[in-house]
Amino acid sequence: MSIRFGANPIIWSNDDMRELGGDIPLETCLAQAREIGFEGMELGHKFPRDASTLAALLGRFGLACVSGWYSSQLLRHDAAGELERLRPHLNLLKALGSRVLVFADVSGAIHGDRTRPLSERPRLAAGDWDPFGERLTQIAAATAAEGVQLAYHHHMGTVVQSEADIDAMMQATGAEVGLLLDTGHARFAGADPVALARRHAARVRHVHAKDVRAEVAAQAERSDWSFLQSVVAGVFTVPGDGCVPFEQVFRALPAYSGWIVLEAEQDPHKADPRTYASLGLRNLRRLVAESLR
């Protein structure tokens, strides 16, 4: 495994609920990430979107631009229309030397609405997967032709949430579409991240490493909480602080080469970002090393 460790700024400032960490300056996030030992950062809502400005900012802290999330409406647009909407983001990633595009369809998604329980999330009918997969494959082929690999991010509150959803999406798409394996979203959705890693190892192109507090996830399911209600209650934490068997996940990906990105969207005033990011990176390095023994 050729691995680089990156961080997502959601550890410091939440993108879906911006009052969480809204008071933490971007420079604090970047400085702490570098001090802790991360090599790169994914993008978040506080980052500038001008390529030269962003490159200069990351360069000040010696950090690479790992990737950045793109919210697709591919269930509502054709591939050509979605590519047009994607173009500024794709050009920014290319200019910063990123080789992975984090892509998720948010048509009808509820993950950003604290009032909507997860039971109300959108779902695709059986006959809708193939046309969705065809458009997604077209997008992925187009970005690959420009040197950027699309990695689809399954996510709570969206059309690709459950293990069955992930499998259906992978079956409906061509090899051009990579999978972003998010261990936290998988476990929270009731999926087995180890089984997903084994089944789709050849197409895993990016990894988001976060852990899950099992008791909070169980309460969220019993009480039908919203995604953000679950986040505020502490459903996610950093690797090694929850119930995800990371050694088994990494053993299931023996040929993986690329970024492993630490995430753990928590309330930064309850879970100090520097403390948790430091703990998470120490644990990740240990867990990856143990998986190679």
pLDDT of residue 292: 78
pLDDT of residue 161: 98
Does the pLDDT value for residue 100 go beyond 70?
Answer: yes
pLDDT of residue 293: 74
The mean predicted confidence, pLDDT, of the chain is 97
pLDDT of residue 1: 53
Q: Tell me the domain boundaries of the chain.
A: 2-291
Does the pLDDT value for residue 197 go beyond 90?
Answer: yes
0.95 surpassed by pTM? yes
Question: Taking the chain, what is the end-to-end CA distance rounded to the nearest angstrom?
Answer: 12
Does the pLDDT value for residue 290 go beyond 70?
Answer: yes
Does the pLDDT value for residue 111 go beyond 90?
Answer: yes
Look up tokens 């949430």; give the residue: 161
Q: Return the closest-CA partner of residue 17 out of 266, 290, 278.
A: 266
Average confidence (pLDDT) over 58-84: 96
Does the pLDDT value for residue 66 go beyond 80?
Answer: yes
pLDDT in tens, 16-28: 999 999 999 999 9
- How many angstroms separate the CA atoms of 22 and 157, rounded? 23
Average confidence (pLDDT) over 84-101: 98
pLDDT of residue 89: 98
C-alpha radius of gyration, the chain, whole number? 18
Q: Which ranges of the chain would DSSP assign to H, the alpha helix?
A: 26-36, 51-60, 79-95, 129-145, 163-172, 183-188, 193-199, 214-223, 227-233, 246-251, 273-291
Average confidence (pLDDT) over 73-101: 96
Average confidence (pLDDT) over 87-92: 98
Question: At the top level of CATH, which class does the domain 2-291 belong to?
Answer: alpha beta
Average confidence (pLDDT) over 39-64: 98
Residue type, 37: G
Average confidence (pLDDT) over 266-270: 94
pLDDT in tens, 213-262: 999 999 999 999 999 999 999 999 999 999 999 999 999 999 999 999 99
> Which tokens in the block code for residue 7?
């961080």
Q: Return the closest-CA partner of residue 153 out of 13, 15, 4.
A: 15
